[in-house]
Amino acid sequence: MNTGISAINAAVQETSAFVRPLFSELGKVIIGQSYLVERLTIGLLANGHVLLEGVPGLAKTLSVKSLSSCLSVRFSRLQFTPDMLPADVIGTQIYNPQSGGFTTRRGPIFANLVLADEINRAPAKVQSALLEAMQEKQVTIGDQTFKLEEPFLVLATQNPIEQEGTYPLPEAQVDRFMLKLKIGYPSRAEERSILDLMAHTSNLPKANAVVTSDQILKARQVINDIYIDDKVKDYIVDIVCATRDPEAYKIQAKDFIQLGASPRATISLTLAAKAYAFLKGRGYVTPQDVKSIGMDVLRHRVTITYEAEAENKTSETIIQKIFDELPVP
């Protein structure tokens, strides 16, 4: 087994060579926010969609646009608004009076990297237009189904739900995001650097292409081979099961959890932990990798009760309690 892990380690070292240039190029445009940049890369490597939540002005959109500039892939941006229609996302069929037939006009979803900006400003039927594309990597328009090109990734931004003019995302859609990131304010030193870099009316810094889609797809192949011990697999399953039935693990949180994480969370946590290990240059997953990425995978998949809200508890505090009290292999 050691020989196998050594070979995987060597493959990881070789195929992850693009990571440092990628982070370096993004660092030209984005000051700080290393957590955001790392997690966006994990989503890209693990083939998982990412939801970014934070108040306006925290470089959410800039980060996604800069990431697309670093990759040699097709990019499209969708600005979600309350009057938007599903056809504005996936496309529609247009009647041609000359031929008497219909032609298909493809929407902006037909790209490799799709930025769904302020996704929670659109009503549920528009948000739901993304569901088939996000899960099956295909789009149905009329009676035709079109496969989407790989890599395909939806990176969505949303303002906090309490803000004016926002709609909560449907649970089915939220569950399709591998990671949900909560973006905070930069430090004072970072804010000062942002001022120096961005307080200009022209010649703003731009990221250049340093990674190809072939490199990303090759990295995904290597990530599939990253080793996870059976004990770590059991630990991942125990974490997810503890969000559904905490009492079975002697964790006092049953009254605070209305709905636990789905089996999709188990798959996402495993893939994200593998991608995290890949970024750290390792060919195997440790329990710490699972804990490091676990909050981002689970925070949007655990629904809390009114009792939890009354006691000012959030899904994060409950998940952290599970991480703290569940035995680590």
96 has pLDDT over 80: yes
1 has pLDDT over 70: no
179 touches 297 (CB < 8 A): yes
pTM: predicted TM-score of the whole model, two decimal places: 0.88
Token pair in block for residue 41: 């890369």
**pLDDT bucket at 161, cuts 50 / 70 / 90:** low
Q: Which CATH class is domain 2-199+210-216?
A: alpha beta
162 has pLDDT over 70: no
Q: What's the pLDDT at 127?
A: 78
Query: Taking all residues of the chain, what is their mean pLDDT, rounded to a whole number?
Result: 87
Domain ranges within the chain, ordered by starting residue: 2-199+210-216, 226-325
The pLDDT tens digits for 258-277 are: 888 999 999 999 999 999 99
3 has pLDDT over 70: no
Q: Is 271 exposed, middle or buried (0-12, 13-18, 19+ CB in 10 A)?
A: buried
Please give the angle made by the CA atoms of 186, 154 and 42, to the nearest 5 degrees. 60
Same fold, 2-199+210-216 and 226-325: no
226-325 is classed CATH 3.40.50.300: no
The pLDDT tens digits for 30-63 are: 887 888 889 999 999 999 999 988 887 777 878 8
